[in-house]
Structure 1
């Protein structure tokens, strides 16, 4: 991936990567591309496609209940206090999605 594209993506995420981070990102993406090319060489002709890893459907009754861990809960006041911009109720963020 070209440096300009990495900078554009980083800017969209409100990040400002250093040249070292950009180089590291390019190296990692090149490694991923190389490994994906290796996957293309695997012959899958005799492999049956599957829809699930174990092909056993999951019933809602089998799922666990969500349990809130109060120790990890962050208060609204702390969130607002740590935000760069906020009003009395909400964190105010820069718009990152353009209307079409």
Structure 2
């Protein structure tokens, strides 16, 4: 699909811009160059190529191992709280 001058004029009105014909021609040339590059990419034969999420296999060996975390039960937490209402710990407001 090629972008033409009429399409750009319509878009110019939609986005509320006031562009000169020279600016529109520059945009038109640039956009059509991009479209022609995409057409080349879309014409690449990919038959028999396995679909991948990444262009190469990645081993994330640089990531750290997860550390075990220590948790306490809700009952222990509530029994140590200074003030409790239902299943919530009540604290004093610290921001005015």
Larger Rg: 2
Decide which structure has greater helix share. 1
Indicate the TM-score class for this superposition, using the shorter chain for normalisation.
0.3 to 0.5
Decide which structure has greater strand share. 2
What's the TM-score once normalised by structure 1's chain length?
A: 0.45
